[in-house]
Amino acid sequence: MIRQCAILFGCLALGELLVWLTEVKLPSSIIGMLLLTLFLKLGWVKLHWVQGLSDFLVANLGFFFVPPGVALMLYFDVIRAEFWPIAIATVVSTLLVLVTSGWVYQLVRRAVGRPGQKR
Amino acid sequence: MEFLGNEFFLIAVTFGVFFLAKWLQRRTGLMLLNPILLTIAVLIVFLKSAGISYETYNEGGHLIEFWLRPAVVALGVPLYLQLETIRKQILPIVMSQLAGCVVGVVSVVLVAKALGASQEIVCSLAPKSVTTPIAMEVARAVGGIPSLTAAVVVCVGLLGGILGFKAMRLTHIASPMAQGLSMGAAAHAVGTSAAAELSRKYGAFASLGLTLNGILTALLTPTLLEWLGLL
C-alpha cells in the first residue's frame, strides 16, 4: 500500500513539478496520469505495484466529487438569477457532445476501415 | 450544537450518506437516484437546516476532495491496459474528440447567449464538459467565474453519468470505444466512473476521452470564444 501511494503521489508530484517548470495550463493530475501510463509502458513501474490502490480510486472516483458538488449551495443566487439559460444550455450541449463524439468516432472508424484486414 | 461542525463528524456523515445512497440505488434500480447527486442534495439540505456554512463543511470536505487528483492519476492504469487498442484507432479517436470539444464549447455558448445569459455566465459555462481543474483554469483565462464553473461541471458530470448510456442507446452509438470516449468527453470523471462501473475497458476508453477533450478544451476554448465574438 505504501509503495502504491508512493508511485501515485510521485506521479502527481512530477506533474506538479512539470506545471511549475513549464507553466503549462494543464492540471498536474492529467499530466500525472499520462506519466503513470508512460512509466507502465516503459516497464519502470510494474502493474501489480499500483493496481490495488488504483482500482479502488477509479471505482470510487464519483465519491470524491461530493464536496465540490456541495459547493453548489454557494451559487444558488447566481444560478437562480439565470437558471433557464444555464440549465438548457448545459443539458443541450452535454447531449450534443455525447452524440457528436460517439458518431464521429463510428463514422471515421468506418471510413478508414483498414482495407485488407479482417474486422 | 457546535459539534455538528466537527470535521470528522462531517466526513463520517458524507461517507454514511453516500453508502446509504448506493444501497438505495441498488435496491430500487432507479437511475435518477444517482448516489453522488443524492448525497450532494442530502448534505446541502442538512447543512442549510443545521446552519453550517460551506466553509465549515469544507474543512472536512477538502480531505475527501483531496483524493480526486490521485484518483485521476490512477486512471493511467486502465489507460495503459488499453494502449494497444488506442494506438490502432488513433485517427477516429482524435477526430471524435476534436468534434466533441468544438461542439461542446460552441453549443453551450450559442444556446446560453440566445437565451440571454450574461457574458460572465457564458464564459463560465464554456469549458463545462471537462474535468474541474482544467475547466476552472479555462474559466479564469476567459473571464468567467471559476467556482461557478466548478459547480456546473459537477452537474454536467451527473447529467452525463445518469443519462449518457441511455442517450447513446437512442442514437445508435454502440461500440464500446465510442461509448467510453463519449462519456469521458461529455461528462469527464463522473462519466468515466459510470463507464468504469461497466468494465475496466470502458473505464479506459472514457479516461481517454476525459484526457483528450480536457487538453483540447484547454487549448482551443480561448480561440473559439474569440471567433464567437466573446473575447
Give pLDDT, residue A114: 59
Give how far A22 is from chain B: nearest CA, Å: 15
**How many inter-chain contacts (A to B, CB under 8 Å) are there?**
330
Give pLDDT, residue B101: 97
pLDDT one-digit tens code per residue, A47-85: 999 999 998 998 888 888 888 889 889 988 888 999 999
B131 or A99: which carries more pLDDT confidence?
A99
For residue A91, the chain B residues in CB contact (below 8 A) are 159
pLDDT one-digit tens code per residue, B9-36: 999 999 999 999 999 988 998 777 888 8
* A95 Cβ contact partners less than 8 Å away, ≥ 6 residues apart: B163, B167, B186
Rounded to the nearest integer, the mean pLDDT of chain B is 91
Q: Classify residue B5 by its DSSP letter.
A: G
For residue B158, the chain A residues in CB contact (below 8 A) are 69
A73 exposure class (CB count in 10 Å sphere: 0-12, 13-18, 19+): middle
B102 or B193: which carries more pLDDT confidence?
B102
Whether B104 sits inside 8 A of A97 (CB atoms) is: yes
Whether B196 sits inside 8 A of A15 (CB atoms) is: no
Residue of A nearest to B128 (CA): A90
Rounded to whole angstroms, the Cα distance separating A119 from B92 reads 16
pLDDT score of B231 more than 90: no
Average pLDDT over residues A23-44: 90
B196 exposure class (CB count in 10 Å sphere: 0-12, 13-18, 19+): buried
Q: Could you tell me if B128 and B135 are in contact, meaning their C-beta atoms sit under 8 angstroms apart?
A: yes
pLDDT one-digit tens code per residue, B58-77: 999 999 989 988 998 998 99
Whether A15 sits inside 8 A of B157 (CB atoms) is: no
The grid coordinates listed for B215 are 487538453
For residue A74, the chain B residues in CB contact (below 8 A) are 54, 147, 151
Residue of A nearest to B217 (CA): A26
Q: Classify residue B6 by its DSSP letter.
A: -
The grid coordinates listed for B45 are 439540505
Whether B73 sits inside 8 A of A53 (CB atoms) is: no
Give pLDDT, residue A30: 85
A103 or A26: which carries more pLDDT confidence?
A103
Question: What is the SS3 assignment for B162?
Answer: helix
How many CB atoms are closer than 10 A to CB B9? 12
Residue of B nearest to A108 (CA): B92
The grid coordinates listed for B93 are 479517436
Q: What is the 3-state secondary structure (H, E, C) of B122-171?
A: HHHHCCCCCCHHHHHHHHHHHCCCHHHHHHHHHHHHHHHHHHHHHHHHHC
Q: How confident is the model at residue A115 (pLDDT cuts 50, 70, 90)?
A: low
Sign of the CA dihedral B72, B198, A87, A95? Answer: positive
Nearest to B58 among A12, A29, A67 (CB): A67
Whether A112 sits inside 8 A of B91 (CB atoms) is: yes
- Where would I find the H helices in chain A? 2-22, 28-42, 47-59, 66-70, 76-81, 83-112
Cα–Cα nearest to B191, from B150, B169, B162, B151: B162
Rounded to whole angstroms, the Cα distance separating A45 from A43 reads 5
Question: What is the SS3 assignment for B181?
Answer: helix
Give how far B170 is from chain A: nearest CA, Å: 10
Measure the CA angle with vertex A11, ends B96 and A59; round to 5°. 60
Rounded to whole angstroms, the Cα distance separating B10 from A5 reads 25
How would you label B216-227 residue by residue, b for 16+ Cβ within 10 Å and e otherwise?
Answer: bbbebbbebbee
Type of residue at B53:
S
Using N-to-C axis directions, what is the helix angle for A83-112 and B90-114, rounded to 10°?
160
Q: What is the DSSP secondary-structure string of B194-211?
A: HHHHH-HHHHHHHHHHHH
Phi-psi region of A27 (alpha: psi -120 to 50; beta: other; left: phi over 0): beta
Give pLDDT, residue A60: 85
